[in-house]
Each structure stands twice: as C-alpha cells, then as structure tokens.
Structure 1
Amino acid sequence: MTETALPPRRELADRWPTAVAMVAIAVAVAVMVLLDGEAELFGPAIAVMAGIYLMAYALGRPSTAWLAFVVLSAVVSVLHILDGRQVSGVDPAVGMTIVLVLLWLWTVARRRFTEARTFSIQTAGMVGFGVLTLLCTAVAPRLGIVLAGVGFLAHGAWDAYHFRVNRVVNRPWSEFCAVVDLGVGVALIVVATA
C-alpha cells in the first residue's frame, strides 16, 4: 500500500497557526508604528511568553498554552494600565518577572519537578527570559528595544525546540508563537536600529 500526500487544501488548513501569527505580527508592527514605547511594551512580553510555557507545564496539559496566553496577556495589560495611570509603583517588566517566578513556584508545588529534564529546561527558560525582561527595563530605551528583539528571537528558538520535541505545549501553539516571535523580534531590532 502506498501513502499519498494530503491534498494541498488540507496542508494549508493545517498551517492555521502561521496564518493567525501573521495577523498578530501585523498588529504588533502597527503598535510599534503608532506608539513610542517598544521596550516598555514588548520587554514584559518576554516574561509572558516564558510564563505561558510554565503555566501549561504546571497544568500538565499542552493545549492549555492558549488559555495561559489569554490569562497572562490580561495580567500584563492590567500592569501596563496601572503603570500608565501611575496607580502602581510596579514596572510591568518587574511585575511579569514576579509572575514568572510565582508560576515556577506553582510548578514546584504541583510536583512537576519529578520530570527532571523538562523541569530543568523550564527553569532555565524562566531564569533566562526573566533576566532578559528585567534588562529591557534597566537599560537605555534603544538598547531595551534591541534586547526585547533578541528576547523574542531567543523565544522563537525556544518555540522551535518545543515544536520538535512536542512537549509542554501543543504544536499549534509552538508554531504560532515561533512565527510571532521571529517576526516581532526582527521588527523590534529594525525599529531600534532605524
């Protein structure tokens, strides 16, 4: 029995995460064009991206990455609003880094550390992406934008790894996130150097 390839229509339908990601990139670029605050807006997103993986890992259900995206996007939005209105003295980058650490502690509380290799990788991601998030806010704005771009590109590689191993998050999420990260990362670096 010979295997036949899927019809082209089906292959295109399977790429829906990439199509949605292209829309997200367009929105991100529009934000960059309309607002002047890329480092402040996109720096905390690095912690959000790492947090999505930690939340899905803590829950033990890869498809919950989509729910984590909604929840953590709402959290960072609230932090930005509170900061913009000067209601809170917490910088959104610092706030999201704290949320990232809390998610890691929740992962420990759920005893997910028994999967030593995966837990170690997620811990390294928390530390690395958390540090990048904090650096974005600690340096000059233009350098912060470059660091945010580097953070997005690094997370794109993170997504590619998780797509390949098919763990922690589901493949549609890692595909979507990788495309967004690469597009937004390049756009941030272009904005910083233009």
Structure 2
Amino acid sequence: MTNTSPGYTNGHRHSTIRRIASAVAGRWPTFLGIALAASTLFDEDGGPGGAFIVTVAALSYLTVAVLDRPRAVWLVVIALSAIGTAADMAGIGYWLVLGPIAVLATLVGLVRGQLRRPGLFLLQAPQMLAVSVVALTAEYGGLEFAGYLVAAALIGHAVWDVAHWRANKVVARSLAEFCFVLDALLGLGIIILLLLA
C-alpha cells in the first residue's frame, strides 16, 4: 500500500524537482550550445557566423593544448571570441588577428613540445590548419557552395569535440560537450537552411 499522506506527496514532489534540477544543471553545456546555435542560425543582424565560430573553436583547442591547462579553455574561448569580434568591428577582419595567434601558438607548442606529444596533442596543429583552409576558402573564395563548406567544417569539428570529450584530455569536458552541441546543430542547421533556400 502506497503512502498518500500530504507530507509524503510534498516530499516526493520536492525530491523529483531536485532530481530534474540536478539533471538540468549537469547538462548546462548542452543547453548553452543549443541556445547559441539557435541564436546564430536565426540572427538577422549579421552576428558571428559559422566560419567564425569554428575558427574560434579550433584555435581554442590549439591554444589550450599549448598552455596545457584544460580548465582555462572557457577563458580562452571568451578571449578569442572577443578579440575576433573586436577585429571585425574595427573593420580589420577576424582572420588578420586570429591567424597570427594560431601561427604563434603553433610555434610555441612545437618549440616547447606540447604539440609533439602523442595522441590528441599531436593532432591540434593539423586540425587548426584544416579548419583554417576550409573557413578561409568559405569566407573569401566566392564559391557558391561556401555555406556547405562551413557546415562540413562544423560537423567535422563536432567529431573532434566527441574525441576530446571521450578522452577527457586537452580541454575541459564541459567545453567539449558545449562545442559538440553547438557545432553539430549549427552545421546541420546551415545545411537545412541552404536546402530550403
């Protein structure tokens, strides 16, 4: 026989609410990724595009690998986003600022040895190069399928995020989760919008 007294019902309800709140709080990177993907896809004011986002993501992974401080990744993402945005607002173009940062980070990582370590560390510079080539081609190549290139870069980076999340190396898992959700939804969203256009 179940207990249906008011005290039991209220206690059970509060316990359920606490479990739901705990589950939501534990998935905050997912919800943040969903929110940013949605706001980016439906931004009519020309906010940061997919090429900018995947460039900042790739450069953040590279920079944090060189720093060898996984928990610093959120600060790195914020700093690089702010630097890139400021460059765009100044009419310089984010690539003219983030590109040299990528080159400098790669050189420092190679000299100090972080980017010569096996596994994901060794792959950081090649992934930055691949993302750079695709993003630059999409941004400045004048190609009709540029949107699909950006979407492919985002989806490719989503796979990269999963590898980091599973390995629990290089970047904090919370960032890898956030980045996976953002990259995957944004990449798929861009493809859907292009097909509907």
Give the TM-score taking structure 1 as reference length: 0.81
Q: What residue number does 2:24 align with?
A: 12
What CA distance in whole angstroms lies between the structure 1 residues aligned with 2:182 and 2:190?
A: 12
What CA distance in whole angstroms lies between the structure 2 residues aligned with 1:43 and 1:10?
A: 34
Bigger drift between 184-193 and 167-176 goes to 184-193
Could you tell me which of 113, 123, 143 is aligned with 1:121? Answer: 123
Distance 1:93 1:144, change over 3 A: farther
Quote the offset at 1:9 in angstroms.
Answer: 4.3
What secondary structure does 1:116 align onto?
coil
- List runs of 5+ in structure 1 lacking aligned partners: 1-6
Could you tell me which of 48, 62, 65 is aligned with 2:73? Answer: 65
Paired residues for 1:166-177 under 5 Å: 166-177=168-179
- CA contact 2:40–2:47 (8 Å) conserved in 1: no
Distance 1:45 1:129, change over 3 A: same
Q: Tell me, yes or no, if structure 1 residue 80 matches structure 2 residue 92.
A: no
Aligned length: 179
Q: Which has the larger radius of gyration?
A: 2
Quote the offset at 1:171 in angstroms.
Answer: 0.8
Q: Tell me, yes or no, if structure 1 residue 45 matches structure 2 residue 72.
A: no
Q: Tell me, yes or no, if structure 1 residue 164 matches structure 2 residue 166.
A: yes
After superposition, the CA RMSD in angstroms is 2.3
- CA contact 1:153–1:185 (8 Å) conserved in 2: yes
Give the TM-score taking structure 2 as reference length: 0.80
What CA distance in whole angstroms lies between the structure 1 residues aligned with 2:185 and 2:27?
A: 16
What CA distance in whole angstroms lies between the structure 2 residues aligned with 1:148 and 1:114?
A: 28
- CA contact 2:50–2:186 (8 Å) conserved in 1: no
- Structure 1, residues 157-179: CA drift from partner, whole Å, max 9, x if none? 11011001110001111000100
Quote the offset at 1:142 in angstroms.
Answer: 4.2
Quote the offset at 1:104 in angstroms.
Answer: 1.4
What CA distance in whole angstroms lies between the structure 2 residues aligned with 1:141 and 1:93?
A: 18
Q: What residue number does 2:38 align with?
A: 26
- CA contact 1:50–1:100 (8 Å) conserved in 2: no
One-letter amino acid of the structure 2 residue matched with residue 75 of structure 1: I
% identical aligned pairs: 26
- CA contact 2:106–2:115 (8 Å) conserved in 1: no
What CA distance in whole angstroms lies between the structure 2 residues aligned with 1:136 and 1:29?
A: 17
One-letter amino acid of the structure 2 residue matched with residue 77 of structure 1: T
Distance 1:67 1:145, change over 3 A: same
Distance 1:109 1:74, change over 3 A: farther
- List runs of 5+ in structure 2 lacking aligned partners: 1-18
